Structure 1
Amino acid sequence: MLLYKQKKNQNVKGNRLLISINVLGSAGPIRFIVNEEQLVAAVIDTALKSYAREGRLPILGSDLRDFQLYCPNTGPDALSPWDTIGSHGARNFMLCKKPQPEKVPEEGKTPSGPAIPRKSAGSWKSWINKSLNLKIYSH
């Protein structure tokens, strides 16, 4: 009697790699096995699903188009989503959110928030003078 179901012999092209993906702001890396022929976009998707399944913080979301994968060996540019993950020869990566473009206010309109922070009303001496009508002189 067979106690376990035997897996079918699957023809997997390419080697399998154990990769580590550090998420900016998270406590530790996510590790999982991928096929070296897998696209970077598929790896980002798998990383986001694993991150959410583990309940990690900060909450990232699930849209892979909002994220970029960086490889420290290839320089400061993000990896193309259409590259294969094994083509870079690395196993450690960094997952970051894409920078959001800043909204430029239209002409004639003021920004929604205060542009200039308010200064304090004065020192504690002036507050006491105003509230108690006392005069405190400083040197």
Structure 2
Amino acid sequence: MNRSISEKMLPQKQKKKNNENQIVKKNRFLIAVNVLGSAGPIRFVVNEDDSVAGVIDTALKLYAREGRLPVLGSDVNRFLLYPANAGLDAMNPSLKIGLCEGRTFVLCKKQSHPQMTEARSEMIAQKRSGSWKAWLNKSFNFKIISH
């Protein structure tokens, strides 16, 4: 029945009993998530086995709860999480956050590319070809002959 002081002080969420009634402590750490366009980082504690998608979800919820601007929404699939100083590749959403070396991250919205329809591609092609000639003809009221 003798427990050490540190075991008594652990919060219930951090305690996990296995079959042998031993206490296993989950590793937790503080991270900072910077959101592009926002004033400063969001800081919160995560478990090392939390997924990157879970971290993004928590960051979006805290961001909204704090009333920060710009408004981001809550769809986790529309965002990417990058390590702040470890390359240019976004982290895999199923990766565990504890596997990343850093504790500072950058949260960015995914770039949305409008779908290119046939009508839109024709319109863009027409704008690119000869548009300066049409503008010049219209502006100065004279014709430029193409070779």
Q: What's the TM-score once normalised by structure 2's chain length?
A: 0.66
Aligned sequence identity (%)? 52
Runs of 4 or more consecutive aligned structure 1 residues displaced over 6 Å after TM superposition: 114-117
From 107, 112, 123, the equivalent of 1:110 is 123
Determine if the alignment matches structure 1 residue 14 to structure 2 residue 29: no
In 2, Cα distance between equivalents of 1:72 and 1:64: 19
Q: Note the C-alpha offset of 1:22.
A: 0.1
Gap runs ≥5 in structure 1: 1-6, 123-139
Match of 1:97 among 101, 109, 127: 109
Measure the CA separation in 2 of the matches of 1:99 and 1:16. 32
Number of positions where the alignment pairs a residue of Structure 1 with one of Structure 2: 113
Does residue 1:42 correspond to 2:47, yes or no? no
Q: Does 1:25 align with 2:44?
A: no
Q: Mark the runs of 5 or more structure 2 residues left unpaired by the alignment.
A: 1-10, 17-23, 140-147
Taking the TM superposition and a 5 Å limit, the aligned residue runs for 1:83-94 are 83-94=95-106
- Residues 61-72 of structure 1 aligned to structure 2 (within 5 Å): 61-72=73-84
2:37/2:70 contact within 8 Å kept: yes
Return the offset for 1:73: 3.6
CA root-mean-square deviation: 2.8
CA contact (8 A) 2:83 2:105 kept: yes
Are positions 1:57 and 2:69 aligned together?
yes
Aligned residue identity for 2:123: T
Deviations 1:41-94 (A, max 9, x none): 000000000000000000000000000000034310000001110101110000
TM-score, normalised via structure 1 length: 0.70
